[in-house]
Amino acid sequence: MGIDVWVERQAVRPTVVPDVPMTSPTATGPDALVGEVATLDWEALAARVRTCTLCDLCQTRTQTVFGVGNREADWLIVGEAPGADEDRQGEPFVGRAGKLLNEMLLAIGLRREEVYIANILKCRPPKNRDPRPEEVVKCEPYLRRQVALIQPRIILALGRIAAQNLLKTDTRIGAMRGRTFRYADTDIPVVVTYHPAYLLRSPQEKRKVWQDLQRARRIYAEVRQAVSV
């Protein structure tokens, strides 16, 4: 792909960055969990997603893309929406961007099988357009239930759309990098970085993503230490 696997050259002194509280969720946040979706186990949730017709994307999808990985993972990786490859195979991040994501994870000592990978949307938007607000609202309870079932210790948001929808903000991604957010009504830290597809177009930005990954790893280590105390 023309992008080398990143290898840490030297230890980087952590930068202390104060936590940034997330804005209060709206009625489509916590309230969206009130109801049947909030009680579903993994199998029932997957079945519900597979047959979902809540928005018009059900008319153009090949299949839904539920998510993949370790259902007890400490790390939850969240992207935007399925692309053409994902729509065909039913798995997130399987194309060129997926291969690069695997390399990004390996660079911080994680294998794809150790994390859980999901998207804001479970269906591919036609022509890979940006998700529409009403589509995100309809799909949000599914991701929130996945978070509740996994109970990850950290969430890595890949790209502007994933970050903005997870955090209910219109802040540009450059301004979100280097800050620690919390997901919805939980204490789960959210770290924002660029999407692998963006790196394929702009490989000169890989240094910034490497910084974000190092920072996420430090935050994760701090969370684990706090839990073990």
Tens digit of pLDDT for each residue in 34-87? 478 999 999 999 999 999 999 999 999 999 999 999 999 999 999 999 999 999
pLDDT-based confidence at residue 9 (cuts at 50, 70, 90)? very low
Residue 36 CA: distances (Å) to CA of 31, 32, 39, 189: 12, 10, 5, 27
> Residue 22: is its pLDDT beyond 60?
no
Q: How confident is the model at residue 19 (pLDDT cuts 50, 70, 90)?
A: very low
9 located within any domain = no
Strand partners, 69: 116
pLDDT in tens, 163-174: 999 999 999 999
Count the Cβ atoms, other than its own, within 10 Å of residue 33.
17
| Within a domain: 3 | no
pLDDT above 80: residue 26: no
Does residue 129 belong to any structural domain of this protein? yes
Stretch (H or E) spanning 183: none
**Domain interval for residue 110:** 19-228
Residue 190's CB: how many other CB atoms inside 10 A?
26
Q: Model confidence over 83-112: pLDDT tens digits?
A: 999 999 999 999 999 999 999 999 999 999
Cα distances (angstroms) measured from residue 112 to each of 5, 76, 175, 198, 219: 15, 11, 28, 20, 19
In this prediction, residue 72 carries a pLDDT of 97
Number of domains in the chain: 1
Per-residue pLDDT at 36: 86
- pLDDT score of 229: 67
The CATH number of the domain holding residue 87 is 3.40.470.10
| Neighbouring C-alpha atoms within 13 Å toward the C-beta of 212 | 28
pLDDT of 185: 87
Q: What is the pTM of this model?
A: 0.85
- Judged by DSSP in three states, 192 sits in strand
pLDDT digits (tens, 9 = 90+) for 110-165: 999 999 999 999 999 999 999 999 999 999 999 999 999 999 999 999 999 999 99
In a domain, 5, yes or no: no
Structural domain contains residue 151: yes
* Predicted pLDDT at 227: 83
Distance CA 26, CA 223 (A): 27
Residue 132 included in any domain: yes
How far apart CA 157 and CA 163 sit, in angstroms, is 5
